[in-house]
Amino acid sequence: MNGADWQGADSHGGDWHGEDWERHADDVDGGDFDDDLDEGAEDADDDGDEDSRVAAWITERASAATGRFRQTAHELRQALAGEASAKAAVDSLRARPDAEVEPTDVPPDLTAAAFFDVDNTLVQGASIVHFARGLASRKYFSYSDVLDFAWTQAKFRITGKENAQDVAEGREKALSFIAGRPTSELIELGEEIYDDFIADKIWPGTRALAQRHLDNGQQVWLVTATPVELAQTIAERLGLTGALGTVAESVDGVFTGRLVGDILHGPGKAHAVRALAIREGLNLKRCTAYSDSHNDVPMLSLVGTAVAINPDADLRDVAKVRGWEMYDFRTARKAAKVGVSSALALGAAGGTAAAAVRLFRHSQG
């Protein structure tokens, strides 16, 4: 199982359905809240009604709590995204055949783990752009669509800030692509596209750091906004424990075109790490987290050891103030710090921008 069919938080099992949002409320923030939604929503058509019911529940739930326990709708979506991601990750780990687990003489360190961001931390550039390139080569997307993805990522890498409209448009485009498709198709595509477009873009230095944790008997998890199916493929190919990623809702093995909560990003990553730590019995003070982006400060602040990899300007400033360790594998001098013989000098922003230019030229050819 690759985690696409996310089961509810209770013991009933089955795919994650819209009505499970209400059942899951007590696990998120508890309290004496009336979870009944608008009566008119109960009588509407399923497809059009589902989004409005969830939106109404999120809005009402967000305004129900008071004082320090109050959650905004965005915070609630991020909490649900984190819970869904952790559940999918654990389900995938439990479902893995014993034959796939390589025997080792290293005693397991049961309470320590490492958490790695993916884009520009482990993978050069944005994994979702690489995935989109693979889809375009298979005629799922046009190259102009990929150029939009790449340009959005380039703007983000250069400015360090996300545009809400860019995020919303990217989310809608991605969800419209998977709606109605079987989850198995995305898993198969992820495996093919990893081999063709991502395998040769792994930062050797980051890979060496991950291996160091594995050699010490610790779990190593990826934490990313990338779809969980692709994230788990990357983890499996690198021999890591698993991945926390964005979970898309599915029913009977088919994507509905909706997310469970939201894209796993910023605070959502911290929620996912915390939820996984509870499920796996990890001591977060003994855990380590790695990232390149200031958006991941919530996750980095959650663990005992935070490490900045190829940091953006804002994260570099935060790391200096907090005394966090830093590695920059975009220069050979920094890469040598962890015993990497050579490293690409291509920066994250430059790499994404260059990819955008190449895609544009390809689309014009």
Query: Catalytic residue positions?
Result: 117, 119
Between strands 219-227 and 113-117, the pairing is: parallel
In 139-215, where does DSSP find H-type helix?
Answer: 143-159, 164-178, 183-193, 204-215
Chain mean position to CA 212:
22
131: three-class secondary structure by DSSP: helix
Per DSSP, what are the bridge partners of residue 326?
A: 308
Between strands 288-291 and 242-246, the pairing is: unpaired
What is the amino acid identity at position 307? V
Q: State the CB neighbour count (10 A cutoff) for residue 75.
A: 17
Expressed in angstroms, the distance from the first to the final Cα of the chain is 40
Are 82 and 274 spatial neighbours (Cβ–Cβ below 8 Å)? yes
